[in-house]
A = this chain, B = another copy of it.
Amino acid sequence: MRKGLVIVNTGNGKGKTTAALGVLFRAWGRGMNVAVIQFIKHATGNWGEIKAAKKLQIDWQAMGDGFTWLSKDLDATAQKTRDAWALAQAKIASGQFDIVILDEMTYALKYGWIDVHEVIAWLNEHKPPQLHLIITGRDAPPELIAFADLVTEMREIKHPYTQGIKAQPGVEF
């Protein structure tokens, strides 16, 4: 039985986005079509994963402005996440993809920039039954967890930042 799953990777630990990239790698190996939409990461970021996606011609859109707790213009950030969701809706409804990854979308839900109930209602109506959807980010709202088929919490047990070790290229970005 082939069934499109709604997958949520949440929690305060590493591996939420990275596990979504692992699914992308695995699915690409099977010749499946994957689209990635990043809600927070900046369009000009030249991370390892973006380099890889370019080399493999994977559909990848970074729509964010690099929002952090230092951001000043939250209205602009909020609008960018709404634009990302509009693009996600187009990709999901297009029927062209086997897997769509909505990276760091939970932040937009958490801050109310996108309404979680509207997202779920839209997905119920428009998500193709066989499409797998992966949503990542901390603090996934309970409504999303209730809606999802597969939810994993990535929990931080030990982190090198606390030992003064900086993020390492290739591993973390």
Contacts and interface: CB of A to CB of B under 8 A. Distances in A.
Q: Would you call the interface of chain A mostly helix, strand, loop, or mixed? A: mixed
Interface string A109-125: 00000000000000000
Given A25-B21, A29-B50, A171 B14 contact: no
Given A9-B15, A29-B50, A157 B152 contact: yes
A34 to B, nearest CB: 9
A42 interface: no
Contacts of A145: 157-158
Query: How extensive is the interface on chain A, given as a class?
Result: 35 or more
A41 interface: no
A43 interface: no
Contact of A148 (B1, B26, B158): B158
Contacts of A165: 1, 3, 5, 149
A81 interface: no
